[in-house]
């Protein structure tokens, strides 16, 4: 339900999470320490998920991070996300957190997925298997090209 400011409770929670992420990032000193701490934050967030979301997120994280060493895991609005050249390329959203019937893998506008005048930027992930993993790898490679 939207409050007086027009935001839902879920949206206000996401904004508070993002604000906390930015404050935490600002306190981290060296690039090496920051990258390791950011990656650990993502693993901690995944570990805190429900069993089904955690299973899908864990496998997706492994697929995404193995697709390219140039992707940097970071939290974005409390969710696992992956930055390329300092900008968020893709993100993972869970069914539980978003109150939806499936988890999703989304791509930001920095992703090179353009295909004419109309193309998908978010994909429902009902389950993950080798076929899904292969599709994710191909999407990541295309998005980074």
- 3-12, 40-49, 108-117, 126-135: least confidently modelled range: 3-12
* 6, pLDDT greater than 70: yes
DSSP letters along 37-63, please? HHHHHHHHHHHTS-HHHHHHHHHHHHH
pLDDT of residue 31: 62
Structural domain boundaries in the chain: 9-144
**Per-residue pLDDT, 28:** 63
Q: Whole-model pTM?
A: 0.79
At residue 20, does pLDDT exceed 90? no
Multiple choice CATH, 9-144, 3.30.43.10, 3.40.50.1980, 2.40.10.220, 3.90.1150.200: 3.90.1150.200
pLDDT of residue 34: 85
Average pLDDT, the chain: 91
| CB-based contact 91:76 (threshold 8 Å) | yes
């Amino acid at each position: 339900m939207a409050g007086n400011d027009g935001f839902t409770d879920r949206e206000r929670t996401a904004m508070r999470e993002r604000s906390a992420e930015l404050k935490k990032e600002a306190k981290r000193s060296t690039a090496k320490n920051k990258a390791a701490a950011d990656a650990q934050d993502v693993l901690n967030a995944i570990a805190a998920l429900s069993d089904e979301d955690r299973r899908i997120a864990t496998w997706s994280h492994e697929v995404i991070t193995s697709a390219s060493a140039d992707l940097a895991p970071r939290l974005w609005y409390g969710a696992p996300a992956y930055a390329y050249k300092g900008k968020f390329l893709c993100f993972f959203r869970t069914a539980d957190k978003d109150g939806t019937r499936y988890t999703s893998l989304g791509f930001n506008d920095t992703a090179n997925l353009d295909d004419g005048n109309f193309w998908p930027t978010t994909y429902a992930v009902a389950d993950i298997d080798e076929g899904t993993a292969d599709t994710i790898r191909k999407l990541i490679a295309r998005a980074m090209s």
